[in-house]
Amino acid sequence: MKKIILLVSFFSLFLFVQAQEFEGIERGDKELSFNGFLFTTIGTEYSSASGNFFISYGSYLTDKLLFGIAPGVSVSSSDGEIVADLSGQVFLNFNFSSTKRSFPFIRLSYYQYSFDFETYEPLDLAYAQGGLGFKSFLTESLSWETTITYGLNLATPEYGNLMLMTGITVVL
């Protein structure tokens, strides 16, 4: 029983602290993020799983609107062969708050899974994505961020992707 009371107390304190206001995000602030995710392709005839790592950089156009780019590396495995490709995103986040320690946001992005245009047509691995995320500041400038997005393939809209991305963000 002591463990349950201790756990509930700790969780309640965590929620109270996270709901508190702090200096917040301001127009012109910059963000540097280190994110990773698992990637699943969903389609009628094809499915695969892989991972990706991004280093993203963004600038706040307003106190709630973040525009950024995120170069990355996609890693996949097929028949025992590991393949790594350069990838990238251009994204726009709308934060529902700029002064709370924790808040949800909406994300829209263009995601290019691979820049190997000798093997693939550019739109074959391009996705228009939308999703929701949650950011929680651990300090005044360091936060943990998690985003889930769904994307439609631009060449073949019946194929899509569902991504759960998480990582650390620093406000510069």
Q: What is the pTM of this model?
A: 0.79
Domain boundaries, the chain: 23-171
CA torsion, ordered 154, 155, 160, 165, to nearest 10 deg: -50
80-121 residue pLDDT tens: 677 888 999 999 999 998 888 889 999 999 999 888 878 777
CB 144 within 8 A of CB 166: yes
Per-residue pLDDT at 21 exceeds 60: yes
Q: Could you give the CA distance from residue 146 to residue 154 in angstroms, rounded to a whole number?
A: 25
Q: Could you give the CA distance from residue 49 to residue 52 in angstroms, rounded to a whole number?
A: 10
User: If we measure between CA atoms, which residue out of 68, 104, 105 comes closest to residue 88?
Assistant: 68
> Looking at residue 14, what is its pLDDT?
58
Give CA 153 to chain center in angstroms. 18
- Residue partners of 89: CB distance under 8 A and separation at least 6: 54, 56, 69, 70, 72, 109, 110, 111, 112
> Looking at residue 41, what is its pLDDT?
66
The proportion of the chain whose per-residue pLDDT surpasses 90, expressed as a percent, equals: 49
Per-residue pLDDT at 3 exceeds 90: no
User: If we measure between CA atoms, which residue out of 116, 115, 112, 152 comes closest to residue 131?
Assistant: 152
> Looking at residue 69, what is its pLDDT?
98
Angle at 67 between CA 64 and CA 73, to 5 degrees: 130
Quick one: tokens of 153? 């393939």
123-156 residue pLDDT tens: 788 999 999 999 999 888 999 999 999 999 998 8
> Looking at residue 78, what is its pLDDT?
65
Q: Pick the residue with more confidence: 79 or 57?
A: 57
Q: What is the CATH number of domain 23-171?
A: 2.40.160.20
> Looking at residue 70, what is its pLDDT?
96
